[in-house]
Amino acid sequence: MVRIGYTMMTEQAGPRALVEHVVGAERAGFDFSVTSDHYFPWLESQGHAPYAWSVLGAAAQATSRIPLMTYVTCPTTRYHPAVVAQKAATMQLLSEGRFRLGLGSGENLNEHVVGAGWPAPHVRLEMLQEAVEIIRALFGGGPVNHHGAHFDVENAKLWDLPEAPPPIGIAVSGRRSCELAGRLGDLVIATEPRAELVKLFDEGGGAGKPRVGQLPVCYDTDRDAAVARAHDQFRWFAGGWPVNSELPGPTAFAGATSFVRPEDVAETIPCGDDVDAFVDAVKPYVDAGFTEIALVQIGGEHQRPFLDWSEKTLLPALRRL
């Protein structure tokens, strides 16, 4: 059975509200949760970007069942991989084994803030590979010394290690990232229902490992209001990863999406309260071979009605898939 997850979208709600949301998701019966890890929102209308790791620590204490996961953390620029390893190990202890570490090559939107420049895509993948290797070594428990092409680690050791380290997920968008995920990851992460990504991941060594996708949705009993909100806050989604990873800030995203119409957004994001439309939007992920799909309810102030509707209507319908 496909597992259905809930997204704590840090770009659209403050830290206390995000914790309340994931508590509600656990109560509603979602199978897992994921958390974005941004320094900026994509668009100013989203309005938030709290520190995801503080939110995760609070969520670990406020919940008891629902798994937690970064979706995704970039361990190469804003965070050094040795620090990511420490944060992830601590989260696994706080959550009592419910944490998964989702990693990716990052977006200029968030990583530019430390002034280190934004490397070319192939360099970002090289950095991600080296970062994953460092994190794995630190999860192994011994002192780590590393002097590589992109990172230095000097006599590092994690003093608080969980019995089982967090599984590592790797976000993918093409052949090279799929090969990397299949070889070094415990699961694969994607935001598009592309069967070729799953196939390349399997060929790279990922056969039998979880495949996690993500789908934005906009529940509202007023469909016109849902479409307007999705357009206002999530039209950036139309750009696709090759474009979105390069844009430097919300102003750039606003400019790049100025010609995206509400009806364009409604063609790709289910809006309203027709449960069949939501189920139909999930099906391509199932058909592509994804084993887990995390839903993003658009609008930070519209989580509670979505969670209520999910518990009563949406989750039962999706589980019939």
Residue 38 a catalytic site member: yes
Residue from 144, 134, 138, 133 nearest 89 by CA: 138
3-class DSSP state of 108: helix
Residue from 139, 66, 69, 76 nearest 105 by CA: 76
* CB neighbour burial string for 233-262, b if at least 16 within 10 angstroms, e if fewer: bbbbbbbebeebbebbbbebbbebbeebeb
Residue from 32, 102, 94, 101 nearest 67 by CA: 32
Whole-number CA gyration radius for the chain: 19
**Where does the chain have alpha helices with state H?**
15-28, 52-62, 81-94, 108-111, 121-139, 175-184, 195-201, 223-234, 241-244, 250-256, 262-268, 275-288, 303-309, 315-319
Using CA atoms, how far residue 26 sits from 60, 133, 231, in Å, is: 12, 33, 28
Mode of pairing for the β-strands spanning 144-147 and 152-156: antiparallel
The single residue of 21, 38, 112, 231 carrying the catalytic annotation is 38
Residue 96 a catalytic site member: no
Residue 114 gets which letter from DSSP? Answer: G
The single residue of 11, 26, 107, 126 carrying the catalytic annotation is 107
Residues annotated as part of the active site = 38, 107
